[in-house]
Amino acid sequence: MAKTDLSYGRLPAEHEDHFLVKAAQLVGTDALLTTRDNIEMVIAAKAMMCAYGPSGYGKTMAVNSALRALAPKTTYRLELRGGPTPRDIRHGLFHALRLPGEPPRRPIEFDTLLKEVLAEQFRVLVCDEAQWMSRTGFEYWRHLWDDRNTDIAIIFAGGDNCYKVLRREPMLASRIFIWQEFTRIPKTEIRPVVQAFHPIWATCDLELIDAIDAEAAHGSFRNWASITALLQEGMASTGTEHVNEELVHWVYSKIGGM
Ligand SMILES: Nc1ncnc2c1ncn2[C@@H]1O[C@H](COP(=O)(O)OP(=O)(O)OP(=O)(O)O)[C@@H](O)[C@H]1O
Ligand SMILES: [Mg+2]
């Protein structure tokens, strides 16, 4: 809890974004590079953006890495789960912005305070896990963004539901400047992407990489990360230096149907 409190709202260091895997490398995929271009435009326009797509496809990683490069000091991240209400968003912002004292009790006072603070200097607000957001939640962000004095860009990142909810409401959809869909790692790029991701794949038989993608990883970065982490364990405990089929089958026995 202490860690969450201290780090709340801040961009994590790159290694913290890597799910479970030691020595994993950030891969400059097309999606990662496109995210950086998109976020650059969104910042220049002080606009809103929606990065969406299935779980584990690299949205958080791409958004954080772009912001570490483009706006490390002005980015404030919120992860609000479980259908956040405007009240939850107000409190989330209060913490992420590290405002002093107690949060105001009355919504009107609270909004006045947030709008004043958000008018002080330009900031990028990241609302990650936005698939939990209802229309009312998005409306609240819009309300802050529409305010004449606030100086913000907002990036929503979330599962497909985030896209659906935003698209359904013309009032919201028309205000989203850039929509970026995250898709699986293309089959044609699996080999170079996986090999760049982690050194254990550098000496692996390329057809074995294709087979793992088809049988278990299905182009999902997070699946590749879990498989890599388990293989690392298996290799360390058996003293094996290269990925082989036997180890891969042992990993399959741990992960079930991915
Ligand atoms: N470009 C990349 N280079 C290296 N590793 C990556 C990259 N993108 C994703 N990963 C790996 O995949 C994992 C999952 O990525 P990430 O957390 O960004 O997915 P997500 O789309 O935000 O998923 P969710 O919707 O569940 O939040 C990361 O922890 C990291 O290990
Ligand atoms: Mg994420």
pLDDT at residue 1, rounded to an integer: 37
Q: What is the pLDDT of residue 7?
A: 76
Do both 29 and 152 map to the same domain? yes
Which structural domain range is residue 247 located in? 187-255
Which of 165, 181, 197 terminates a domain? The answer is 181
Mean pLDDT by 10 residues, the chain (258 residues): 64 80 92 98 98 97 97 95 93 96 97 98 96 94 97 97 93 96 97 97 96 97 96 95 95 84
Count the domains in the chain: 2
Strand order in the sheet with 123-128: 75-79, 123-128, 152-158, 48-52, 176-181
The pLDDT of residue 15 is 81
Q: Are 91 and 217 contained in the same domain?
A: no
**The CATH number of the domain where 27 resides is what?**
3.40.50.300
Mutate-to-test residue for ligand 1 from 155, 221, 231, highest number of ligand atoms within 8 A of CB = 221
Using CA positions, which residue lies closest to atom 27 of ligand 1?
55
* Ligand 1 centroid from CA 59, angstroms: 6
Q: Are residues 106 and 227 in the same domain?
A: no
**Closest to 221 (Cα-Cα) out of 254, 183, 181, 179:** 183
Closest CA to 141 of 162, 159, 120, 161: 162
User: In terms of domains, do 159 and 231 share one?
Assistant: no
Q: Are residues 175 and 193 in the same domain?
A: no
Q: Can you tell me which atom of ligand 1 is nearest the CA of 128?
A: 27
Within 6 A (CB) of ligand 1 lie: 17-19, 21, 24, 26-27, 29, 32, 55-61, 159, 182, 197, 221-222, 225
Ligand 2 center from residue 55 Cα (angstroms): 7
In this structure, the number of other CB atoms found within 10 A of the CB of residue 134 comes to 13
Whether 40 and 87 share a structural domain: yes
- Indicate whether 21 and 38 sit together in one domain: yes
* Same-domain status, 177 and 232: no
Summarised one tens digit per residue, pLDDT across range 157-175 is 999 999 999 999 899 999 9
